């Protein structure tokens, strides 16, 4: 499908990456996965994603550091970025400060995630 949207998922948990991939590909999306923020940033530079979903706490580069770097890329100025986390409160403010568009709390409901991604990618 030429109009298939690409979602970049970044999470250090193989289980979470697998669940996200199954949910998103099942919803008709193309998925690019990375294990940490540094890999995610490299993937974002290599192939433009229509939406990014990232964990916060990861080795090498955190999700918030990666989001701040991705937001510096002109092609990602308006790209929706969802933060996937078990945390709330202060971390939400930090996420918004670096450019996150939305917050998804783990464990996520696949149908809610898919609805949010579809809304965000229009």
pLDDT tens digits in sequence order for the chain, 122 residues long:
457 999 999 999 999 999 999 999 999 999 999 999 999 999 999 999 999 999 999 999 999 999 999 999 999 999 999 998 887 677 778 888 899 998 888 888 999 999 999 999 99
Cβ contact 37:55 at 8 Å: no
C-alpha angle 77-48-92 in degrees, rounded to nearest 5: 50
Mention the CATH class of domain 6-108. alpha beta
Tell me what pLDDT residue 101 has.
92
Number of helices followed by number of strands (H, E) in the chain: 5, 5
Domain spans of the chain? 6-108
What is the model's pLDDT at position 93?
A: 81
Which pLDDT score is estimated for 1? Answer: 45
Paired tokens of 41: 């940033």
């Amino acid at each position: 499908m030429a109009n298939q949207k690409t979602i970049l998922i970044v999470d250090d948990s193989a289980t979470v990456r697998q669940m996200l991939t199954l949910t998103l590909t099942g919803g008709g999306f193309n998925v690019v996965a990375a294990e940490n923020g540094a890999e995610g940033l490299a993937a974002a530079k290599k192939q433009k994603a229509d939406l990014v979903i990232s964990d916060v706490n990861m080795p090498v580069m955190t999700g918030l550091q990666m989001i701040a770097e991705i937001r510096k890329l002109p092609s990602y100025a308006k790209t929706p970025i969802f933060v996937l986390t078990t945390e709330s409160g202060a971390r939400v403010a930090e996420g918004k400060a670096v450019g996150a568009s939305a917050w998804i709390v783990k464990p996520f409901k696949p149908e809610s995630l898919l609805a949010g991604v579809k809304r965000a990618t229009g």
